[in-house]
Structure 1
């Protein structure tokens, strides 16, 4: 009876350890990706992901600038009337 409880607890610990290992490998992979991204930014050779993010931000900022410019022109036209 006591032996069975001990075996069940050991099985539970084994499952927990397996889960922790999976999470550890995920963290290591994330760390590698971050290091690679940082290195590519430092060297000036951005990865595809970095380039995509930069382009997305450029498009968003250009759109905002265009909208602000149009709004300014509309306000200017209204004040000239």
Structure 2
């Protein structure tokens, strides 16, 4: 089975989550608790090892006290930088 995951996009989302979590002074466990997901899943997201569902994006945004739209827009900026760096 072929993966349709975009590694650059996963790295951009991972960086966004890490940056927002650090700015909020939250541990992975704290973010997981605030978001209603497991700490191991937060770790996998931050390592770019898995892709979040729409539900997860909304839960993370809530846990980070941010809007999902803000997170997506910031992730897109990071993604564009990832693509430029790869050229």
Q: Normalising by structure 1, what TM-score?
A: 0.29
Higher relative contact order (CA 8 A, sep 6+): 2
Work out which of the two has the higher radius of gyration on C-alpha atoms and give 1 or 2. Answer: 1
